[in-house]
Amino acid sequence: MRREWVWFNHAGRYPIVQTSYAEDMDHLGVLRDKIGRFREEIADIQELNDEFRRAVRNGAVAQVAHGRRHERLQAIQHELVQLADLGRRAVSTEPMKEKHRSRRRVVKHKRAA
């Protein structure tokens, strides 16, 4: 089961999507979806930044919007770093899990007299 909530950032331009997935969901698919949304958002920001650079004069509103786009790119970069760290931690815990699984033993308890 998948649920999504959508909010918009301060400028109202870029949606901020929070997705909730059930425990049995494909986590790799979730990451691919999230990265795909980041790619789309980055492409939109690049297009707007190109328009900003081509403009002969940029007013205060355009400069503020350009600054916000830069901040959003930094936020996306930060989120991608967190996802990469999460991936490294998930991979590095697998050997530990295997080690603990191999140590599992069936323990029989003595009955109380």
* pLDDT value of position 65: 95
Task: Give burial (CB, 10 Å; 0-12/13-18/19+) of 73.
Answer: middle
Averaged pLDDT score across all residues of the chain: 78
When pLDDT is averaged across residues 50-76 and rounded to a whole number, the result is 94
Burial (CB < 10 A; 0-12, 13-18, 19+), residue 109, is exposed
Give the mean model confidence (pLDDT) for residues 6-16.
Answer: 59
Are 15 and 8 contacting, i.e. CB atoms less than 8 angstroms apart? yes
In the chain, pLDDT over 70 holds for what percent of residues? Answer: 59
Count CB-CB contacts under 10 A for residue 81.
10
- Would you state the pLDDT for residue 31? 86
pTM: 0.58
